[in-house]
Amino acid sequence: MVLSSGSDRKNEAGRRREDTKMSEHFVTRYADAEATLRIPDLHQALYDADTIFLPRTVVCLHGKDHIQKKRLFMGVFNRSFFRHYQNHVFPAALKETLDPVIASGKGDMAKFGYRVLVNLVADSAGVDRAHTEKDTDRLLALIGKLGHAPTMGQLTDPSDRDRLLAELEEALEAFRTEFFEPSAARRRELITRVEAGEMDEKDLPNDAITAQLRQMPTDDDLPYDERVKDGAFFILAGAFTTANVLMNTVNEVLDWVDKHPEDRQHLIDDPLLMQKFIWESVRLHPASPITKRRALCPMHLPDGHEAEQDEFVTVDLTKANRNPDLFGEDAESFNPYRTLQGRTPLHGLSFGMGAHSCLGKMLAVGVQITEGNKDAEETEFGTIHMVMEALLRRGIDRDPNRPIKIDESTTRRHFITLPFRLNPELASQPA
Residues that bind ligand HEM (CB under 6 A): 1, 44, 46, 58-59, 70, 121, 124, 234, 237-238, 241-242, 245, 282, 287-288, 291, 350-352, 356, 358-360, 363-365
Shortest separation between residue 241's beta carbon and ligand HEM, angstroms: 4
| Choice between 231 and 352, CB closer to ligand HEM | 352
354: left (phi over 0), alpha (psi -120 to 50) or beta: left
Q: Residues near 354 by Cβ (< 8 Å), separated by ≥ 6?
A: 37, 38, 39
Shortest separation between residue 291's beta carbon and ligand HEM, angstroms: 4
| CB-based contact 382:366 (threshold 8 Å) | yes
| Choice between 216 and 431, CB closer to ligand HEM | 216
Alpha carbon distance 364, 374 (integer Å): 17
Shortest separation between residue 129's beta carbon and ligand HEM, angstroms: 16
Shortest separation between residue 264's beta carbon and ligand HEM, angstroms: 22
| Choice between 211 and 237, CB closer to ligand HEM | 237
Alpha carbon distance 313, 194 (integer Å): 48
Shortest separation between residue 262's beta carbon and ligand HEM, angstroms: 27
Alpha carbon distance 303, 29 (integer Å): 8
Shortest separation between residue 124's beta carbon and ligand HEM, angstroms: 5
Alpha carbon distance 175, 162 (integer Å): 20
Residue nearest ligand HEM, Cβ-based = 360
| Choice between 111 and 293, CB closer to ligand HEM | 293
| Choice between 207 and 397, CB closer to ligand HEM | 207
- CB neighbours (10 Å) of residue 169? 12
Shortest separation between residue 347's beta carbon and ligand HEM, angstroms: 8
- CB neighbours (10 Å) of residue 345? 13
Q: DSSP letter for 123, please.
A: H
Q: Residues near 159 by Cβ (< 8 Å), separated by ≥ 6?
A: none
Compute the radius of gyration of the chain from its Cα atoms. Answer: 22
Q: Which of 392, 405, 389 shows the shortest CA–CA distance to 261?
A: 392
Strand bridging mode 290-295 / 42-44? antiparallel
| Choice between 387 and 396, CB closer to ligand HEM | 387
| Choice between 146 and 245, CB closer to ligand HEM | 245
